[in-house]
Amino acid sequence: MAGGAAPVSGALLCALLWVVAEAAGDGPGGSPAPGAFGRVYRGAVNISAERVYAFAYSSEPGQVDAVRVYVNSSSENLQYPVLFVVRQQKGVLSWQVPLIFRGLYQRTYNYQEVSRTLCPSEPTPETGPSDQVIFVDVASMAPFNITYELLVTRLENFQLETNKAFNFTASPSQPQYFLYKFPQDVDSVIIKVVSDAVYPCSVVSVQDIVCPVYDLDHNVEFNGVYQSMTKQAAITVQRKDFPGEQFFVVFVIKPEDYACGGSVPSSIHGNVNRTWNLQRTKNLQVMIVPSIKKYVYVQAMFFSFLSFLSFYLGSVVVAFVHYIRVRRKASAGRLSPEDGSGIMTSSHPITAGTPEGSSYGAIDESSSSGGRQLSSPERRPPAGSDTDSSVEEESDFDTMPEIESDKNVIRTKVFLYLSDLSRKDRRIVSKKYKIYFWNIITIAVFYALPVIQLVITYQTVVNVTGNQDICYYNFLCAHPLGVLSAFNNILSNVGHMLLGFLFLLIVLRRDILHRRAMEMKDIYTLDYGIPKHFGLFYAMGIALMMEGVLSACYHVCPNYSNFQFDTSFMYMIAGLCMLKLYQTRHPDINASAYSAYASFAVVICLAVLGVVFGKNDMWFWVIFSMIHVLASLALSTQIYYMGRFKIGKCYLGIFRRVAMVLYTDCIQQCSRPMYMDRMVLLIVGNLVNWSFAIFGLVYRPRDFASYILGIFICNLLLYLAFYIIMKLRSSEKLLPIPLFCIVATAVVWAAALYFFFQTLSSWEETPAESREKNRPCILLGFFDDHDVWHFLSAAALFFSFLVLLTLDDDLDVVRRDKIPVF
């Protein structure tokens, strides 16, 4: 039995055990009988007769010897099980046969065959070869004989090797675990486990070298780090977490599959709840590979920052080229009212008469109560005045009685020009839109701080409990740093913050240059181009930065509960873009910041309710679909009538008036719609929204947050497409910069969506099922597909914002009373 380099010591120990056994006899008294590895022992025990076996072996320095004990009993008597106790030098391990596992609804799963690996002991170099003795006690409290079988073997492949696959089998009553030691040049490894079969559900655990090893279903979660598994699992382990530079990899098969997405056993009472010797053997393959080196982290961070800092360089080049072009025009004396990029550069003679085509929406200046009277000096504040009166902000910015009667007439004309919808004082309207900026900063602070605190708590729970089923990472490409489990998913969001800040700088530059241009001439005679109000652009830049912050917070521990963190500011980005697009040609009648953010708050509340109730509750989908359809109709009516559709005392009056208009115009006399272009847009928009409502009602998608985001994005794309088509229809042109931004937006969004749909995890499923979708890194050995989505989506949003910022630069040389409204 004894082997290695110390046969004399092992022989003496065996001889001593044999003498003891011969003197006492191998009988009911329980004296130890010398055992041989690899030999099957059969016997019977009862309350007055137990058996004790002694197994001795010798271990060499640096060699880890593991012993596995296999036992079997034919008895099905749960009242009198056979008890097995294994005594080692530093621990005791015990179990009973039949071995009982408990499942849902008090179900029990009983196994008569059990095999366990004993906790190994490694001799130290100072002590040299050591002799080990294992005692196996077999006993029972039964008043009658119960037969059993015992087999003790030494494991030859107990220690796993780096980059070498190892195949084995396991079952609920026969768990397995192996030892791994870090090589000298490896600081981090990834444990990859695969199986061809989805079920039975299994658990992979990494535990420190401590006895006892927790290798049963009811205790495997007590120590170390663990994951549930169907066909694939991966755990990243760092050397610094194990002072002994070695650990156990434990594999446990669960008695039921519900934890991995399998069927939930029905609740049945009686003896049917007992299952004997259920065949749940699973073939597994484990391979441990080195993880990335520290320099890869540095490369990834340099790549992330330099990639987006190149956008800053490109912006500086464009600004410099623009500056040179303006200087050349100035020296040649060929400056136009504006330089084609939204910045006023010189004055232009303004004619006092009504231009040609005034019947197409312009108001005759000769009218005593007409539009030109609103621009008279009596109405304006002093040139240096920049009042911030709350009275002005709360009164819809109408400072004279004439404007109320005037705008009711103007906004219901068949054809409208921009001059008809930009009649309010520029500075008051500008203050109105700046409220968007200050409000979103307040919202961001109050929203982000609790989110950060919550995700830190999530990460702490994961680190303390070791339960890696809490967070849905791509475990095949999850690179930890400090307390963070997946630093790469957080780093990839830096693009949103850098590009959001760059967009703020671009908007600030335009704002400053525009103000300087305004100070050089009579501000009230500049009736050219789109009115420059930058408040919404500032709000969009802050929203883009906050999307990066909250997306990073979500990816600290991505799961079902905090997915709304990743989507909340996406709603705001989509909503602000639609508002900005509408505000471009409707500056006087756009929604206020308070009503806009209140609407966003309602949307986020609905998203939270959808997360809670949207999975299975039909009543929620019925109510949400009704709200969606009615809101679409109400908003369409307000847009169609340019905000002059009076609701009356009761909000339900709007739907009564809609019904009356439809009956009068479409049924009674079938007249052509007064505003055909708007009608076409609103009909298509309502069809799209009703389709979303029907889809949600029929299919009830589990990812409710993405469902709402899809509604926002589709409406935004529809409105943008309509705007560009109408712009081209009106013989307006696209300058090179906005045209480039449109092409870049389309290309980058297409590439980004390709990587977005490469699903790497899904919290709609169980953690084990989600891990089946995990894939290795694809960029620099550090970033996965979803990280590339983060990079590309940040660039795509940036280009989308630039489209909105530069789309109408061609109109800077066109009078507002010749710019159509659509």
Residue 530: what pLDDT?
A: 83
Residue 379: what pLDDT?
A: 40
Give the whole-angstrom CA distance, residue 467 versus residue 487: 18
Single-letter code of the amino acid located at 239: R
List the strands of the sheet with 176-181, edge to edge.
176-181, 246-253, 202-207, 225-229
Which residues are registered as beta bridge partners of 582?
A: none
Q: Is the pTM of this model over 0.75?
A: yes
Cα R_g (the chain), whole angstroms: 37
Residue 648 φ/ψ region, left for φ over 0, alpha for ψ in the -120 to 50 degree band, beta for the rest? left
Single-letter code of the amino acid located at 760: L
List the strands of the sheet with 282-290, edge to edge.
166-170, 282-290, 188-194, 232-238
Eight-class DSSP state of 240: G
Is 677 within 8 Å of 585 (Cβ atoms)?
no
48-60 pLDDT tens trace: 888 899 888 877 6
Proportion of the chain above pLDDT 70, given as a percent: 78
Q: Count of residues for the chain?
A: 822
For every residue of 610-646, which 3-state class applies, written as one string? HHHHCCCCHHHHHHHHHHHHHHHHHHHHHHHCCCCCC
Question: 82 falls in which pLDDT band (50, 70, 90)?
Answer: very high
473 pLDDT above the threshold of 80: yes
Tokens found for residue 209: 């070298």
Eight-class DSSP state of 381: P
748 pLDDT above the threshold of 90: yes
Q: Nearest CA to 568 among 450, 686, 456?
A: 450
Residue 233: what pLDDT?
A: 94
Q: In this predicted model, which residue has the larger pLDDT, 709 or 645?
A: 709
Is 132 within 8 Å of 65 (Cβ atoms)?
yes
Residue 491: what pLDDT?
A: 95
Which residues are registered as beta bridge partners of 205?
A: 226, 250
Mean pLDDT confidence for 253-257: 91
Question: 128 falls in which pLDDT band (50, 70, 90)?
Answer: low
418 pLDDT above the threshold of 50: yes
206-249 pLDDT tens trace: 999 888 899 998 899 998 999 999 999 999 999 998 988 899 99
Question: 792 falls in which pLDDT band (50, 70, 90)?
Answer: very high
Question: 577 falls in which pLDDT band (50, 70, 90)?
Answer: very high
Instruction: Please state whether beta strands 146-155 and 66-72 pair in parallel, antiparallel, or not at all (unpaired).
Output: antiparallel
584-642 pLDDT tens trace: 888 877 788 898 999 899 888 888 888 778 777 788 888 888 888 888 888 887 777 76
Q: In this predicted model, which residue has the larger pLDDT, 658 or 767?
A: 767
286 pLDDT above the threshold of 90: yes
For 92-245, list the strands marked E by DSSP.
92-97, 99-102, 108-111, 113-117, 130-139, 146-155, 166-170, 176-181, 188-194, 202-207, 225-229, 232-238
Mean pLDDT, all residues of the chain: 80
Residue 167: what pLDDT?
A: 94
798 pLDDT above the threshold of 80: yes
| No. of helices (H) and no. of strands (E), the chain | 17, 20
Is 188 within 8 Å of 297 (Cβ atoms)?
no
Proportion of the chain above pLDDT 90, given as a percent: 39
Tokens found for residue 642: 């340019």
Give the whole-angstrom CA distance, residue 627 versus residue 602: 11
Mean pLDDT confidence for 433-461: 92
Question: 8 falls in which pLDDT band (50, 70, 90)?
Answer: very low
Mean pLDDT confidence for 327-334: 72
